[in-house]
Amino acid sequence: MSAHIIDGKKFAEKVRAKVADHVTRLKEENGITPGLAVVLVGEDPASQVYVRNKHKSTVEVGMNSFEHRLSAETSEADLLALIDQLNTDPAVHGILCQLPLPRHLNEELVINSILPEKDVDGFHISNVGLLSTGQKSMVPCTPLGCLMMLRDYHGSLSGMNAVVVGRSNIVGKPMANLLLKDSCTVTIAHSRTKNIEALCRTADIVVAAVGRPEMITGDWIGKGATVIDVGINRVPAPEKGEGKMKLVGDVEFASVVEKAGAITPVPGGVGPMTIACLLANTVTACCRAHHLSEPEGLTA
């Protein structure tokens, strides 16, 4: 039997609606409008698209969006000065510096200059430490979105065996920490892992965050497992016409859908959840800044 398709687009709409409701309440009851500042350095075309989408989504849920576009030649000192200004601006509750930064800028230094409470990407070393010690933190958006979908589908994740394929700081590691916090037994696999197919076959949950098109096939997956495909890979699509491209995940959908119990598609799975979780993190940051109760179900 074919797996249940976890509809990330629909779920992301629900998350956005919840965020919008909370924004309305904050405005009406407390006179506060949550604000997200996005800093883009340079003209990377993919980053420009992401920043445009973030701005549109922020405005759609009723929050203030502050865009700061800087030239590719911006000095580290100027960028740090801007972040400093945003750190102290009471109208700004979340700050996101679009990555990657131009090579002359030190990404770690820049990310760690954002106030942890305003670090809505969850990449600041304090937030990484808080998450890995099971404490309240700002959580990276993509793994938070995966966790929300898993909780929604399964209810409790306690006791489940989870394999996270990929150990990056932005997806694999925080994902593993979140699953551990929800009492899964977690294994992190990576490019040096032996017998990775057999390992994945033992899992109740497989999260694929590898960046290799359709690497995980049906024979890697145990019957009835839940498969979360984080991968976004642009590959040639000759069936659509010469020179055409399409998006595929790190999971081979056609074979995995026949083995899994549930699966997220690409596109329309994890992708839409990432921006929804950025909005969720901003409203959470705003509530925390004003010592107000946080919306339920929007944090880890």
Footprint (CB under 6 A) of ligand NDP, residues 8-27: none
Give me the 160-179 binding string for ligand NDP, x by CB under 6 A, dash otherwise: -----xxxx-xxx-------
Regarding 212 and contact with ligand NDP (CB under 6 A), the answer is: yes
Please state the φ and ψ torsions of residue 247, each to the nearest 5 degrees. Answer: -95, 135
Find where tokens 């081979």 sit: 252
Number of residues that bind ligand NDP (CB under 6 A): 25
Regarding 211 and contact with ligand NDP (CB under 6 A), the answer is: yes
Regarding 279 and contact with ligand NDP (CB under 6 A), the answer is: no
Stretch of 12-20, 94-102, 107-115, 207-215 lying at the interface with ligand NDP (CB under 6 A): 207-215
Collapsed DSSP state (helix, strand, coil) of residue 228: strand
Which of residues 86 and 252 has its CB atom nearest to ligand NDP in the complex? 252
Least distance (Å) from ligand NDP to the CB of residue 232? Answer: 4
Stretch of 17-25, 64-72, 99-107, 185-193 lying at the interface with ligand NDP (CB under 6 A): 185-193
* Maximum CA extent, the chain: 58
Which of residues 9 and 212 has its CB atom nearest to ligand NDP in the complex? 212
- Helix residue spans in the chain (DSSP H): 8-30, 45-60, 76-88, 107-111, 125-132, 141-154, 172-181, 196-201, 253-256, 270-289
Cα radius of gyration (the chain): 19
Residue 6 CA: distances (Å) to CA of 150, 152, 186 = 9, 10, 22
- Which residues have a Cβ under 8 Å from the Cβ of 70 and sit 6 or more positions away? 39, 40, 41, 42, 78, 79, 82
Footprint (CB under 6 A) of ligand NDP, residues 115-154: 142
Regarding 230 and contact with ligand NDP (CB under 6 A), the answer is: yes
